[in-house]
Amino acid sequence: MIRFDSVTKAYPGTTRPALNGVSIEILKGEFVFLVGASGSGKSSFLRLILREETPTKGAIHVLGQHLNTLASRKVPYFRRNLGVVFQDFRLLPNKTVFDNVAFTLQVIGKSRGFIQEAVPDALKMVGLAGKSNRYPHELSGGEQQRVAIARAVVNKPAILLADEPTGNLDPATSAGIMTLLERINLGGTTVLMATHDAGIVDQMKRRVIELISGQIVRDERQGGYQTQAVPVQGFGRMAEEVAP
């Protein structure tokens, strides 16, 4: 579903690469946390999957597409299979909740009939069925993030990328968002979430990939935010690969 083969990403004009020789495979239906200190390369990892950036070295395959060689004009169509959520929600302030969610469907050319059905469904799923005529500034942060999630999943994407979706929310609200993401994952969507929230990671007991300075140092099934056991998969293999 998502595969990185020795991927290195060095931004132009920087000496230290944001990602350094990363190899990883994420399977369909998995729920994966991406943890690591600030600047360790989590957002870069997600941007590479979204094909907002291309790798400096190595190959990336997502949903059967080889992203290195994917033509620019095909990128929009590739992205229709992905949903994205950010820490800062990124809603359009002059559109209602309904229109914010509908917007993503309109711009990819969905019919009015499809939109009239899909948008209320998505809003109901995130628990905002009664607030579709509100504007973003009339919602709490948690509710705004729910709108953003509804927007990300309204087109039933195969993969949901979330970059610190609970970063601006209090623990109770965050828990609600996590329940929602879990539900979406149960529906078959692969969820990849970058986070600093130790409580959430420890509680969910899902796969955890930890990055330090752009390298994967841990890839643990049912892991926690901090290493509790000896890292199981991935780390050892990677150490071998890095060795000359």
Partner 1 sequence: MRLGLILGEVGNGLRRNVSMVISVILVTFISLTFVGAAILLQMQIGQMKGYWYDRAQVAVYMCTSLDTTGNCTQSEATQDQIDAVEAKLKSDALTPYIKKFEYENHEQAYKNFQAQLSDNPIASFVTPETLNESFRVNLIDPTEADILIESLSSMPGVQAVEDQRGYLDRIFAVLNAASYTAIGVAALMLIAAVLLIATTIRLSAFSRRRELGIMRLVGASNRFIQTPFILEGVFAALIGSVLAGLAIVGIVQFFVQGYLTTALQSTTTLVGLGDALVVVPILVVVGAALAAASAGVAISRYLKV
Quickly count: other Cβ atoms within 10 Å of residue 122's Cβ: 26
Q: Does 108 interact with partner 1 (rule: CB under 8 A)?
A: yes
Query: What value does the CA radius of gyration of the chain take, rounded to a whole number of Å?
Result: 18
Contact residues for 44 (Cβ-Cβ < 8 A; gap 6+): 9, 18, 19, 53, 214
Of the two residues 37 and 108, which places its CB atom closer to partner 1 in the complex?
Answer: 108
200-235: string of b/e by CB count within 10 Å (b at 16+)?
Answer: bbeebebbbbbbeebbbbbbbeebbbeeeeebeebb
For 20, the 3-state DSSP assignment is strand
Binding mask 33-52 for ligand ATP (x = CB under 6 A): ---x-xxxxxxx--------
Among 2, 7, 18, 161, binds ligand ATP (CB under 6 A): 18
Residue 22 pairs in a beta bridge with: 7
Q: Does 43 interact with partner 1 (rule: CB under 8 A)?
A: no
- The pair of structure tokens assigned to 238 is 């990677």
39-49: string of b/e by CB count within 10 Å (b at 16+)?
Answer: ebbbbbbbbbb
Among 20, 40, 43, 155, binds Mg ion (CB under 5 A): 43
For 85, the 3-state DSSP assignment is strand
The CB-of-43 to Mg ion minimum distance in angstroms stands at 3
The CB-of-80 to partner 1 minimum distance in angstroms stands at 4
Q: Does 44 interact with Mg ion (rule: CB under 5 A)?
A: no
Among 16, 112, 183, 221, binds partner 1 (CB under 8 A): 112
Q: Among 16-24, 88-96, 130-138, 196-204, which window interacts with partner 1 (CB under 8 A)?
A: 88-96
The CB-of-6 to ligand ATP minimum distance in angstroms stands at 18
Give me the residues that bind partner 1 (CB under 8 A), please. 50-52, 72-73, 75-80, 82, 84, 90, 92-93, 103-104, 106-109, 111-112, 151, 155
Chain positions contacting ligand ATP, by CB under 6 A: 11, 14, 18, 36, 38-44
